[in-house]
A and B are shown apart, each in its own frame.
Chain A
Amino acid sequence: MIQYVALAAAFALSALVGGVDNAFAQAAFVGTLALAGLGLVLIVGLSGQLSLGHGAMMGLGAYAQAGLVGMGIDGLPALAAAATVGALGGLVASIPGRRLGDLGFAMSTLALALVVEEGLLRLAPLTGGAAGLVVPPLTVAGWRLASPVAQAVASLTLLGAALWLVGRLRNSRLGRAWRAGRDDEVAAAAVGIDVRHARLLAFVCGGALAGLAGGLHAHWLGFLSPEQFGLPLSFELLVLVFVGGVRSLSGALWGSIVIVSLPQAIAMLRQALPGFELGAAGLELVAFGLIVVALVIWRPGGLRPEGR
């Protein structure tokens, strides 16, 4: 409960300092990144694999969404398609897992992410390539979700639904297979669990969530270019799930709040401090990096270790 009170207070403060629109826009991005982060929790936290290319799955979803909406398809079916494309991306990403050790596999996800980025650049007739792609506001059954409030509501509603769904999934047969495979692969195989298959499905589900998140994200940004979905985003997502707690579903939300709002808070703080108002922007990066390091050292379980 205390966390939620603190959260509401933080939101109110942010709205007071940066304006209501900014606070809701933050909430909208928190929602999409948390969705993608939830997918990564499935892969990293529940099934015990390491993906270094999760941002690319988001990119696939974002471009699928932009393409479909551009063809005049309604936002909702387009989002479903974006999630499907993300799931397919996850499926492809998981294939090398059958042959490689855990770290080699992680490197293969990195390679795939780089190939996706390059591919988005090359498929210029579809993606706009280097020139980028303008995305109109999300329209669902005639409703235009252009205001930050509407965006935040859409983001958080889908996040809530996804949290509920993944919560169910975690306690299902598949969820147990993930955890069994993560904790002891040999033992899991001995009791007849197909660990490989379960791990593949983790990537598919994680990819679907990332694709869905990417679809929303595309609308919140309004402009896509391939480099936005490069390695920095994948790392941002990894930091996000780690900060929240890799094994905690709601951790994705808390991590996302930190990832989205912390740089904002640091920027506001810098401008409030006399002497730092204009110069030395690199210091924001230093502060953010130090906080990441400090969290990894002192809160290795994340903000919500093994939470709900």
Chain B
Amino acid sequence: MFAQVVVGGVAAGCVYGLVALSFVLIYKATRSVSFMQGELLMLGAFTAVVLVEALGWPAWVAAVAAVAASFAFGLVLERAVLWRAIGQPHLTPVLLTFGLGLVIRGAVTSVPEATHRMHRLPLPWSRPLTVGPVQFAPEHLMVILATCTACAVLALFFRHSRTGLALRACSEDSGVAAMLGVSPAAMHALAWALGAALAAFAGVLLAPVTFVEPGMGMVALKAFPAAVIGGLASLPGALLGGLFIGLSEALAGRFLPDGVKDLTAYGLMLAVLLLFPRGIGEIGRRQ
């Protein structure tokens, strides 16, 4: 039973972590806090649903296409609007993303079919996997595996590809990066596009767990604590922060008094902010 609770917590934590990852990626490269990741997540999931239900595409093709479409959408938003936030105070991107989030949410809710019922994405397989006493639900297994894959791909991208290295260089010091021939404008666009794609990826993974409806972006509220716990500027930290919150919530829900569970994420975030302002990674570094 204990292991079962842990599995549930890890799966939830993976989703928190993925959204947090998209948030931190954008933050690192553009110094902008994006408050539309929840809406991008919802839009990505709806895109996949439309491709499956209206065009009859297989679910996994639709999922890949939705993530790609979200990448493109992120690029468009950056070129049209978000580039103007470069060099502006923090408040500018906060408000721009908030406004864009309203536009996305409003556009989706004005489609009757989106507000009349919840939608689902069919899973590629439906049998739970049993390991010893623990049951892995197919949707949880998919979330966990896909998150691991995504992290491996991102790690390779940032360590070994030219573009990934350029993006990293740009996040560390855009001035120096520019001197080395990296275009900060292109990297700015790339970061937003990647952030949008990651949010859509999280949305597609969340679709079998929570189903697709206009309010599903609320999960992004848990991504902020995850990102903060991870130190706001560390990609692995964001993911670990998400896992940490997912697990703590699950354990608090099982063993602590009723009601503590929902305070866990925010309480942890406040505690980390006050004790380890640069994230839980700092604990390791101090020793």
A-to-B contact residues, CB < 8 Å:
44, 50, 52, 95-96, 99-104, 106-108, 110-112, 114-115, 118, 122, 231, 235, 238-239, 242, 246, 279-293, 296-297, 300
Contacts and interface: CB of A to CB of B under 8 A. Distances in A.
A238 to B, nearest CB: 6
Interface string B168-209: 000000000000000000000000000000000000000000
Interface in B91-142: 91-92, 94-96, 98-112
Of the listed residues B31, B104, B266, B270, the one surrounded by the most CB atoms of chain A closer than 10 A to its CB is B266
B105 A296 contact: no
Contacts of B215: none
Nearest to B263: A118
Contact of B277 (A100, A231, A282): A100
A290 B99 contact: yes
Nearest to A286: B106
B109 A281 contact: yes
Given A106-B33, A285-B105, 14 more contacts: A104-B232, A104-B273, A110-B224, A111-B228, A111-B266, A115-B270, A283-B106, A285-B102, A285-B103, A287-B106, A289-B99, A290-B103, A293-B103, A300-B88
The B interface, classified by DSSP as helix, strand, loop or mixed, is helix
B63 interface: no
B98 to A, nearest CB: 5
Nearest to B115: A282
Given A284-B106, A293-B81, A115 B263 contact: yes
B262 interface: yes
A50 B267 CA distance: 21
Interface residues on B, range: 35 or more
B102 A103 contact: no
Interface of B: 27, 31, 33, 35, 81, 84, 88, 90-92, 94-96, 98-112, 221, 224-225, 227-228, 232, 259, 262-263, 266-267, 269-270, 273-274, 277
A100 B96 CA distance: 24
Contacts of A95: 274
Contact of A297 (B31, B81, B227, B263): B81
Of the listed residues B33, B101, B106, B225, the one surrounded by the most CB atoms of chain A closer than 10 A to its CB is B106
Contacts of A52: 94
A231 B81 CA distance: 23
Contact of A238 (B31, B94, B107, B221): B94
Nearest to B27: A103
Nearest to B99: A292
B226 to A, nearest CB: 11
Given A118-B263, A282-B105, A285-B109, A107 B99 contact: no
